[in-house]
Amino acid sequence: MEDRRIIHGPIVAVNLGLQGFADGLAEQGVRTLQIDWRPPVDPQLSTAWRRFQDRGRGRQTEQANLEALARLQAAEPYWVGVKRVKDAVPGIKSHMILHAGPPIAWEDMIPIQRQGVIGGILHEKLAVTKEEAAGLAESGEIELASANDFFCVGAGAGIITPNMVINVSRDRKTGLEGYCIPFEGRVGLGVWGVYNTEVEANLQIIENEFAPAVDAALSHCGGINIKSIIARSMQMNDEIHTRQTAAGLILVSEIVSPLLDLGLDYELVKKCVAQFTATERWFHPLGMSGGMAAARSIKGLEYCSVVTSIAQNGVETGIKVAALGERWFKAPAPRFVGQYFSSEWGPDDATPYMGDSTVTEVVGMGAFAAAAAPAVLRLRGGGYREAIAQSEELSNITVGRNANYPIPLLDFQGPPMGIDIVKVAETGITPICHGGIISKTGGQIGAGAARYPIEHYLAATAAYLEKYTE
């Protein structure tokens, strides 16, 4: 009888794209080669990029991105001071309040950020009542500006006023600085947008007692190496965005001795140490300000398609790109998936993502270093496998890895670093960022992660191609 079989011998299948087809074949004992392919997110943009490469420009992009990676790896951020904002940050004006995220008008702000602006005005003694403060903001007598545009990291609500104090981190390779206010605790004005008599009392201690003493200690010891602390803490389960437990303890061990060397009043030293130990997250502002100092080293780098800023104000998220300078590309702010601190809270109680702390992801920490801190993935029901998978997924949209921070679960490779807008546009994989969940009424109510939309990455890629296409 004639053999009418089309296929002789065992079947070997090649599956493009959807993993589910490969899984089904595997269940039937069919050997399958899975090809991770997906159609382009924006076919027109993808075609434009191919033409750009065909003209030889892609090589210039690659070289610029490798230079960016080298600069970010070479950065040596040090914590060098705690100064008044008006004395440390160039361009600050007396009637100016900085906020998190891209620029936004008073009338467009979400209530908690407005509440923070009002608190900032009252703290500056520019008004006596909340109603008077709101009137000043609404009338335009108070200038509202993006903290990011002043190289400040506005964590959470991002409220920064001229007479607050700010951590100064300086990259010793370039001399460039990044700034972030000290951490006030679980309730406070700068991050959580809460202002009352207790918050004001704490701010007075920070500004008039803590800051001068710590600033003198940093001057005495020549500054504290932020990079060194991060390198050690990433091998102790920190990823420097949601978790900084080890980094905080290392910081205390490095700052106490310089404080004692100054011969300060014992009670003052106790107050300073109490600020550091009141929360396990005190190192967070240094991770952010150090990250900003490092990121500044690639701003304006021609042909570089690497992201230099990610920031959000509870309404929009925005990015900046090295070759495109200080231009913002914006999309709707994402929402968190995570765990709430109490069963009384849920997604309806939370704001969309608000804060600039995602500068940590810009320089390869936070979500990109998830494998360093599997405990953070538990906030979303995951563990060490999911942590490794997240870091590896995000490596598909970066220009390389940060060899300064070897992570045990990545076989001592560093976390992926340098988000490339073109790779995001080509793969459709968008960044994930870790962070705290902020209540609509102020304060932190949980923690988790957010996946970003792709619209502003596509817009940035189009702008990049327009700039360099003759």
SS3 state of residue 199: helix
pLDDT at 279: 81
pLDDT at 351: 93
- Burial (CB < 10 A; 0-12, 13-18, 19+), residue 56, is exposed
Residue 6, pLDDT above cutoff 60: no
Q: What is the mean pLDDT of the chain?
A: 93
- CA–CA distance from 243 to each of 138, 186, 230, 281, 310 (Å)? 37, 14, 11, 7, 19
pLDDT in tens, 366-391: 999 999 999 999 999 999 999 999 99
Residue 295, pLDDT above cutoff 90: yes
**Residue partners of 133: CB distance under 8 A and separation at least 6:** 117, 118, 121, 122, 126, 127
Q: Using a pLDDT cut of 70, give the percent of the chain over it.
A: 94
- CA–CA distance from 171 to each of 158, 175, 258 (Å)? 22, 5, 21
pLDDT at 1: 52
Residue 18 per-residue DSSP state = -
Dist. CA 282–CA 240, nearest whole Å: 11
Closest among 32, 36, 34, 27 to 11, alpha carbons compared: 32
Dist. CA 128–CA 126, nearest whole Å: 7
pLDDT in tens, 90-121: 999 999 999 999 999 999 999 999 999 999 99
pTM of the model: 0.90
Query: In this structure, are residues 310 and 252 in contact, taking their beta carbons and an 8 Å threshold?
Result: no
pLDDT at 281: 86
pLDDT at 387: 96
Query: In this structure, are residues 145 and 264 in contact, taking their beta carbons and an 8 Å threshold?
Result: no
- 381 CB neighbour count, 10 Å cutoff: 10
- Over range 405-415, report the average pLDDT: 97
What would you measure as the largest C-alpha separation in the chain, in angstroms?
Answer: 103
pLDDT at 60: 94
Dist. CA 22–CA 166, nearest whole Å: 54
pLDDT in tens, 7-55: 566 777 776 655 666 667 677 777 776 666 567 788 899 999 999 998 8
Dist. CA 238–CA 232, nearest whole Å: 9
Pairing status of strand 143-146 against strand 96-99: parallel
pLDDT at 253: 94
pLDDT at 443: 82
- Over range 161-169, report the average pLDDT: 98
Q: Name the phi and psi angles at 255, rounded to 5.
A: -95, -25
Dist. CA 246–CA 426, nearest whole Å: 37
- Domains of the chain are 1-37 (no CATH), 47-73+299-468 (3.90.1700.10), 74-290 (3.90.1710.10)
Q: How confident is the model at residue 280 (pLDDT cuts 50, 70, 90)?
A: confident
Considering only CA atoms, give the Rg of the chain. 24
Q: How confident is the model at residue 263 (pLDDT cuts 50, 70, 90)?
A: very high
Most confident of 22-36, 224-238, 276-290, 336-350: 224-238
pLDDT at 17: 55
The residue to which tokens 């459709």 are assigned:
428
pLDDT in tens, 335-345: 999 999 999 99
